[in-house]
Amino acid sequence: MNEISLTRRTFLKSAAAALAIAGASGALVPTKSFAEVPPQSDDGVTKVRSCCRACGKTECGVWVYVKDGKVIRTEGDETAFNSMGNHCSKGQASIQAAYHPDRIKYPMKRTNPKGAADPGWVRISWDEAYQTIADNIMALRAKYGAETLFTWCGTGRQWCMQSDAGMAFQLFSTPNVIAAYQVCKGPRHFASGMDISRSWSWSEVINHSSVYLNWATAPEISNYDDSSRLVVDCATKADTFISVDPRMANLGKESDFWLNLRPGTDAALALAWCNVIYKNKLWDDLYVKRWTNAPFILVKDMQPTGYQCMSNHPFEMKSRLLTEVDIDPSMVDWQIEGEGNPYRYLVWDTLKKRWTYWQADPTDAHWEGENWTPQTKGKKQDSSRMMPNQRFDGWIADLSPFNPEIDPALTGEFDIKLKNGKTVKGRVVWDIWVEQISKYTPEYASEITGIDPKVIENSALTWATRKDPDLPNGGIYYGLGVEHAGNSTQNCRAILAACGMVGAIDTPGGQRGATQGWAGQSGPTSMLPSMASFAFMPTPEVSAKMAGVDKFPLLGWYGVWCDAETAMSYAHQEPESPYFIHGGMIGSGDHMNMGNANYNWEALSMLDFLFETNLWHSPSSGMADILLPVAHWTEVDAHRIAQGASGGFLLCCKVVEPPGECKSDPLLFLELSEYFGVPAFDGPVPWPKKSETVDPEILSLNIECGQYATWVAEVLDDIPNAASPKLADWIKSRYKKPPAPDEVWECMVRDYQEHGAWSMKEAYPADWGTYRRFETGQAYYPGMHQVPVQRSIGIPGFPTPTMKQELYSTIIETFHGDPDLCLPHYTEPVHGPVADAERYKEYPLQAITGRRIPVYFHSEHRQLPWCRELWPVPRMEINPADAQKYNLVQGDWVWIESEWGKIRQTADLYYGIKPGTINLEHQWWYPELAQADKGFSLSCCNCLVDTKVQDKYNGSSVVRTYPVKIYKATPENSPFNNPVPCGDDGTEIITSSTDSRLKDWLIGGRGVQPDKFNEIGD
Amino acid sequence: MDLNDSSDDSITLEQESELLVSERLAALVVGLPGQKEILYGIIDFCRTPQSPTSVDQKTLEMQTVKKSVYSPVVLRKLLEESGALMYLQPAEPQAAEPQLTVPPPAESQEAEACNDDDPDYLTVTIRPEGQWVATDEGLSAIDSADPFAELKQLLVVEANYRDVFLDLLQYCAKESRSQKELDAFVQENPVTHKPRRYGGYFIDRLEAHKAIVWKDNWSTTEIGKEFLARNSYAGAQV
Amino acid sequence: MSEYYIEIIDVMQGRMATYRFLSRLYRKEVDQELLDQLIAMRYPVKSGNAEMDAGYRMMHGYICSTWERTLTDLAIDFARVFLGHGINAHSAAYPFESVHTSAKRLLMNDARDEVLAIYRANGIEKTNAWREGEDHIALELEFISLLIERTLELLQVKDEEQVFSLLRTQLNFLDNHLLNWVPMLVIEMQKFAKTDFYRALALITSGYLTVDREILEDILAVAKLED
């Protein structure tokens, strides 16, 4: 047997090396990171069904494989009907994001001044972080008023936005929510919120309409709410694929019609389509007469009148659409009671040649003499064009006839005898509309848009000419491009008008809005679960101070975001600010998403206090005082109801614990509320602590998804139309009684693992499963969009003030006063070459941006090696003819300069963009630069933006369609004599996939080679 | 200056410090928005040498936020790096003047500290606590401000709001006021309606010019009261 | 036979104390309690390993300069060295083996799986309180200290076969999961550290692991000779 022995030498060596730690204080107390466990083999691999958030817009179903507490693989869920197994390159880089060594895993605070290249971050506890945040925010509030605070977020870490609005409203009590929403889908929702119902800008892509139309979006690559594989499938299977895009998009090159319009002229094109629809009598006459306010009478020469309406909050609508209160009672042949009913809109009946009315009172809405009941006649949807697992057959309500029969006049001018004795003229709204669109012949629109008039006409005819006499061919899938030239609201409204004219509202493939189902949107704008927290909302007095509401009064109506550019000017302490903004919270890199990025960065630097919630040290953290580490999607539980119209309801199922001290956004929001004294939950325990048995996130999810339990109960009780027969049977096979309130999430997760993605058409046949819900009384959802389904609403029409699709917007009239603004109309993009011709003399090219990039989601993923290797530098697409003119070859670095800033991107020669226009990439920054701003000012195209021009109604920034000049970057005209952008210390950015910073895993003094890392050099 | 920072940066800064302290302090103020009064207050407090504990206490008293991002130690660090403050080591017997904060090299430390019988080990001796004092450059930077001139200029530039400013000073001189009260007060004057100016508009300007100060509420400072008196404002009561 | 036991136990206790010390310094920032211990400590500066000696000397020098800012400076440097404020996977001396031994510099890669398997094979797993990968240097160092603790228990009952086995396990782990990557970590630490303290820690770690390897080899070699 061997003996243990020591040589003397070894003993001495050891003794000489040994620490003499023992002193007066005793030996070092060992930390205990390990526990004894019985012998075990490995865990094996678990496969969990979830959905991906690499972009945060489409809820692509995925499988996540987990072994030993780590995610080892993600892949598309082939059964997810909404995404068809899609898992894009960003999604596939998810593991690189989750396990990136630079993830922030602990709350941090700075010890060096803002803007310092080294912020001097130091770790702090969550308690210290929360307390510091609460103390600073509340101190600023006490000193300067709640209006001095703001939040600013874009797409959030689980889905949609972060808990920014909830935090702003309920913890800070400020109305100043800056949200990327203002330039991203917000204008669409703004427009559809005014005209139809919030979010009904969204078309039902999954329908696989015979005519598929992509307008100002290229979602084959990436987000939006329906994208990638689904969109490709729809486009390729359609009989006709129409693409409206100044640029030839990847999928767009397969289109049958490519309408390559001049940027920002979308409304002109839409009005031309309306012209074609009208000229060819393709409008849906019954829909227009019965469900829009086109037959109403506009009397310009009278005082506007109205009544209280609901948005997120009540407001007084006032309009010059003629109602009973405006007229001399002798004008009509019925007895007017009292001063008249302000809800009764007069309409001329051409059949009986008399006035009649529509009563837009939600408690008693009807046409004169009508005994309105929900429509019961209709037909089953033909879903044969869809994939087999997408065929959840809906039911399409027929358009109901007028009963009693009337035929509202669509043309005509009438003598109107007003109550004040005056006789004035009143004209049918449609009449005015027709006059307006008559101007927009294809030829006229061609002059504006640059599209061949035949293409305009034929594409419109193809889209609008019905194949099925009862149904329009489909709707319009329109995206960001229409929202960025400073005329966003009316662009969107013009497109909706075209859809309304053909009756493509809540029809298969038509504009149906965000999916309705068991829950509202996940995470976003999330409010605290408690009712008690609503007592902390901004007071009306404080709300009146919302940044920008004076300039953009409709922001008060919409009640979600404040104006970003105004808020930043207040933070920048512009002398004209009515107050300054001193502090708040930011998401990730949001200063780059609208307005001028450099100006915003300066504004952030002037804040007394700013905190950021993020996974990374992004550009905006260079200005933050405190960083809060948040969770990756694989570490988060969340429900995900489709923001689009796919009908999908999926779950994101947490598979691993977040590392370090990361917390999900909802959790930190819940916990932070305690430090503000705002109850997160109702009842005796307003702030339950996370423990073995209690999880506040799950408690919150149980509340958010509580309707699932209600729904299961309804199915078990066999209430009529509780669910589709197939889904009802499935539920009955699993449940004898509904889940208890504290088991909802657990049950949903279990059910989801087995069932996969649910379709809300199956869950709510009488709501999401029914088309033309305005006929069945299920479209009346005023206020915020996407609230859980309410069965049996029983109110006809839409939640607009007139309860009709408002071709003529009473809301615009209320807040802007001018009737000439109220029909959709075209205004030149304010910085386009027509309206801004003078500037184009010096800045002759028109810049657009914002296209989808396969490996990035806006500013995200620049730091993931796989992504950056594929797409190392920003590319400015330029027509080869222009490139030649400017002496540029492929890959050259180019200066792009506007009156308001300058940046560099690389030239990418592309015939798919017209001469005279260049297409920049947006939100670039450089993780490899060790400086506070991470080099965003080198290439972020929003450094070129003019902050003084915005959409008149919703305030959206002009982040596309502005004049620039370009010239080659040379050593002579570039800092550090280097055409390649460099950091403040001269470090060149990564420009190629072969850059050692992407390849090597050792930098530093000693030359250890990757394949010989056991050998240590000198 | 970090005692233990053996990089070359501190030496370079030292050489340039005499000319640039006011600029570095100004840059520090810009980099720590909302902290100017506290930074200046620390420099002012250290006109005569102060123990670290007393500077801690004074700093915490001045902070209007219970839990500030910047601890008293960090604020001193930043002020030291800007050249406005210096740390006085207790005088070594052989040194005639207070020393700057560059530590002696480690070798000499070892020679002093190596008092153990066993030459294979070193033991530690900690130096006693020093004091903080403002540098001349730091003091001249803070003393050079003339708040009365600045206030006068404010009322020239914003002549249309002259009465609002003076009324507000008077209002806060009588008793301290909440932000809500100030907001309601300024809105009583129609000149603030178009263009719209809220309480914050005036509070920010008066605070920046040291005419009002926040301590749980807004009060007029001595400078503000003196300014009222100098302006012979009708009905001004100091 | 027994005359060596006291010395061997002495050696093992010295090793355990050092591994625990190093583990603690990597695990989190220096707090007041640890600083008090560092002030009370005696620093070995004549071991014969130049790196380690220089490291202890440097650390001693730093601790002698303890003043009001020391804990703050150390906390800032801890974050700067091990967490970083960048986003390019080269922004800190990441204290995880995976980062240094995986092609894409990611956490939770093969190295983590391997050490997890080794821990399991030795009947332990990390507790829930530790929320990072198992290949963090603090855990790897603590693992060795735990094996040494077991070695000491075995020495008490004179189970020499198990003692040898454990010593071999320690040597293998040292070779395969510390000395394979710590040299790179050490370079990175010296690049990012602004305090002598963390520069010193890098030197001490590198030197000590080298010395400890020699010690283990020596002990195991002597045993072999007597085979």
**The pLDDT value given to residue A20:** 65
b/e code A611-640 from CB counts within 10 Å (16+ = b)? bbbbbbbbbbbbbbbbbbbbbbbbbbbbbb
Nearest CB to C65: which of B103, B116, B129? B103
- A15-29, A959-973, C61-75: least confident range: A15-29
**The pLDDT value given to residue B184:** 96
**The pLDDT value given to residue B105:** 41
CATH architecture of the domain formed by B147-230: Orthogonal Bundle (1.10)
Query: Which residues, at least 6 apart from A540, have a Cβ–Cβ distance to it below 8 Å?
Result: none
Task: Quote the tokens at residue A396.
Answer: 């399409």
Q: Kindly list the residues from chain B whose CB atom is less than 8 angstroms away from the CB atom of residue C56.
A: 122
Give B92's pLDDT tier (boundaries 50, 70, 90).
low
Give A12's pLDDT tier (boundaries 50, 70, 90).
confident
A591–C contact, CB cutoff 8 A: no
Give C227's pLDDT tier (boundaries 50, 70, 90).
very low
CB-neighbour burial class of residue A548 (10 A; exposed 0-12, middle 13-18, buried 19+): buried
Between chains, do C125 and A35 touch, taking CB under 8 Å as contact?
yes
Pick from B89, B112, B122 the residue to mutate for testing the C interface (most C CBs within 10 Å): B122
Q: Kindly list the residues from chain A whose CB atom is less than 8 angstroms away from the CB atom of residue B179.
A: 142-145
Q: Please, which chains are in contact with B (at least 3 CB pairs closer than 8 A)?
A: A, C
CA distance C14 to chain B (A): 15
- Residue pair B203/A142 in contact (Cβ under 8 Å)? The answer is no
Nearest CB to B2: which of C45, C46, C73? C73
- Residue pair A502/A228 in contact (Cβ under 8 Å)? The answer is no
**The pLDDT value given to residue A125:** 97
Q: Kindly list the residues from chain B whose CB atom is less than 8 angstroms away from the CB atom of residue A135.
A: 65-68
Within chain B, residue ranges assigned H as helices are 9-31, 36-45, 52-62, 72-82, 106-113, 136-143, 147-157, 162-174, 179-187, 199-208, 222-230
Task: Quote the tokens at residue B126.
Answer: 């900690």
**The pLDDT value given to residue A8:** 77
* pLDDT tens, residue by residue, B150-183: 999 999 999 999 999 999 999 999 999 999 999 9
Closest C-alpha to A716, from A746, A742, A739, A745: A739
**The pLDDT value given to residue B100:** 38
User: How far is B210 from C46, CA to CA, in rounded Å?
Assistant: 61
User: How far is A904 from C196, CA to CA, in rounded Å?
Assistant: 41
| Residue the block writes with tokens 């070594």 | B92
Task: Quote the tokens at residue A425.
Answer: 């003229």
**The pLDDT value given to residue C151:** 95
CB-neighbour burial class of residue A99 (10 A; exposed 0-12, middle 13-18, buried 19+): buried
Between chains, do C44 and A659 touch, taking CB under 8 Å as contact?
no
* pLDDT tens, residue by residue, A409-467: 999 999 999 999 999 999 999 999 999 999 999 999 999 999 999 999 999 999 999 99
- Residue pair A293/A345 in contact (Cβ under 8 Å)? The answer is yes
Task: Quote the tokens at residue A688.
Answer: 């339950």
- How many whole angstroms from its chain centre is CA B156? 27
Domains A187-291+436-501 and A837-999 share a fold: no
Upper half-sphere CA count for residue C152 (Cβ side, 13 Å): 17
Q: What is the mean pLDDT of residues C117-124?
A: 93
Q: What is the mean pLDDT of residues B79-94?
A: 84
What interface predicted TM-score (ipTM) does this complex get?
0.94
Q: Please, which chains are in contact with A (at least 3 CB pairs closer than 8 A)?
A: B, C
User: How far is A377 from A383, CA to CA, in rounded Å?
Assistant: 19
CA distance C169 to chain A (A): 16
Nearest CB to B200: which of A139, A145, A606? A145
What is the three-class DSSP state of A416?
strand
CB-neighbour burial class of residue A644 (10 A; exposed 0-12, middle 13-18, buried 19+): buried
Nearest CB to A2: which of C105, C117, C226? C226
- Which pTM value belongs to this model? 0.92
Domain residues of chain A, as ranges? 187-291+436-501, 297-431+789-821, 837-999
**Statement: residue A924 has pLDDT above 80:** yes
**The pLDDT value given to residue A329:** 96
What are the C-alpha distances in Å from A814 to residues A126, A326, A494, A554, A825?
47, 16, 19, 9, 17
**The pLDDT value given to residue A929:** 87
What is the three-class DSSP state of A382?
coil
A256–B contact, CB cutoff 8 A: no
**Statement: residue A1016 has pLDDT above 50:** no
Radius of gyration from C-alpha coordinates of chain B: 24
Query: Active site includes A690?
Result: no
CA distance B176 to chain A (A): 12
- Give the range of the structural domain holding residue C141, as residue numbers without chain letter: 3-225
Closest C-alpha to C113, from A86, A650, A43: A43
Q: How many CB pairs under 8 A join A and B?
A: 90
**The pLDDT value given to residue A848:** 96
Q: What is the mean pLDDT of residues A155-166?
A: 69
User: How far is C10 from A483, CA to CA, in rounded Å?
Assistant: 75
Between chains, do B67 and A573 touch, taking CB under 8 Å as contact?
no
Q: What is the largest CA-CA distance in chain C?
A: 58
**The pLDDT value given to residue B134:** 97
Q: In DSSP terms, which residues pair with A795 in a beta bridge?
A: A778
Percent composition of chain A: helix, strand, coil (DSSP 3-state, to 5): 30, 20, 50
- A32-36, A545-549, A579-583: least confident range: A32-36
**The pLDDT value given to residue A28:** 61
User: How far is A493 from A188, CA to CA, in rounded Å?
Assistant: 8
Cβ contacts of A311-314, under 8 Å, gap ≥ 24: A311/A193, A311/A557, A311/A558, A311/A559, A311/A782, A311/A783, A312/A558, A312/A559, A312/A560, A312/A783, A312/A784, A313/A559
Q: In terms of CA atoms, which chain A residue is nearest residue C209?
A: A17
* pLDDT tens, residue by residue, C168-191: 999 999 999 999 999 999 999 999
Choice among A47, A67, A70, A90 that is catalytic: A90
Preceding peptide of A874 cis, ω within 30°: no
**Statement: residue A1015 has pLDDT above 60:** no
User: How far is C207 from C225, CA to CA, in rounded Å?
Assistant: 27
What is the three-class DSSP state of A38?
coil
CA distance B108 to chain A (A): 22
Nearest CB to B125: which of C42, C56, C64? C64
Between chains, do A142 and B78 touch, taking CB under 8 Å as contact?
no
Query: Which residues, at least 6 apart from A556, have a Cβ–Cβ distance to it below 8 Å?
Result: A315, A543, A544, A546, A549, A815
CB-neighbour burial class of residue C91 (10 A; exposed 0-12, middle 13-18, buried 19+): buried
Query: Which residues, at least 6 apart from A765, have a Cβ–Cβ distance to it below 8 Å?
Result: A394, A395, A721, A723, A724
Nearest CB to C17: which of A15, A19, A122? A19
Q: How many CB pairs under 8 A join A and C?
A: 282
Q: What is the mean pLDDT of residues C128-148?
A: 94
**The pLDDT value given to residue A653:** 95
Closest C-alpha to A144, from A675, A573, A601, A595: A573
Pick from C36, C45, C53, C60 the residue to mutate for testing the B interface (most B CBs within 10 Å): C60
Task: Quote the tokens at residue A805.
Answer: 């699709």
Q: What is the mean pLDDT of residues A959-970?
A: 97
Percent composition of chain C: helix, strand, coil (DSSP 3-state, to 5): 70, 5, 25
Give B91's pLDDT tier (boundaries 50, 70, 90).
low
| Residue the block writes with tokens 């999954």 | A206
| Residue the block writes with tokens 């950021």 | A612
Give B11's pLDDT tier (boundaries 50, 70, 90).
very low
Give A1004's pLDDT tier (boundaries 50, 70, 90).
very low
CATH architecture of the domain formed by A187-291+436-501: 3-Layer(aba) Sandwich (3.40)
b/e code B18-43 from CB counts within 10 Å (16+ = b)? eeebbebbeebbebbbbbbbbbbbbb
Q: In DSSP terms, which residues pair with A640 in a beta bridge?
A: A650
Query: Which residues, at least 6 apart from B108, have a Cβ–Cβ distance to it below 8 Å?
Result: none
CATH architecture of the domain formed by A837-999: Beta Barrel (2.40)
**The pLDDT value given to residue A163:** 67
**The pLDDT value given to residue B2:** 31
Domain residues of chain B, as ranges? 9-143, 147-230
What amino acid occupies position B28? L
User: How far is C33 from C53, CA to CA, in rounded Å?
Assistant: 24
Task: Quote the tokens at residue A64.
Answer: 């996540």
Sign for the pseudo-dihedral over CA of A135, A139, A142, A144:
negative
User: How far is A757 from A742, CA to CA, in rounded Å?
Assistant: 22
Q: Kindly list the residues from chain C whose CB atom is less than 8 angstroms away from the CB atom of residue A658.
A: 131
**Statement: residue B107 has pLDDT above 50:** no
Between chains, do B124 and C41 touch, taking CB under 8 Å as contact?
yes
Q: Kindly list the residues from chain B whose CB atom is less than 8 angstroms away from the CB atom of residue C195.
A: 2, 4-5
User: How far is A599 from A602, CA to CA, in rounded Å?
Assistant: 5
b/e code A791-802 from CB counts within 10 Å (16+ = b)? bebebbbbbbbb
CB-neighbour burial class of residue B180 (10 A; exposed 0-12, middle 13-18, buried 19+): middle
Pick from B23, B25, B29, B65 the residue to mutate for testing the A interface (most A CBs within 10 Å): B65
The number of domains in chain C is 1
What amino acid occupies position A219? P
Which range of A869-873, A979-983, B10-14 scores highest in mean pLDDT? It is A979-983
Q: In DSSP terms, which residues pair with A529 in a beta bridge?
A: none
For residue C123, give the CATH number of its domain: 1.10.3480.10
Give B103's pLDDT tier (boundaries 50, 70, 90).
very low
What amino acid occupies position A923? Q
- Residue pair A433/A809 in contact (Cβ under 8 Å)? The answer is no
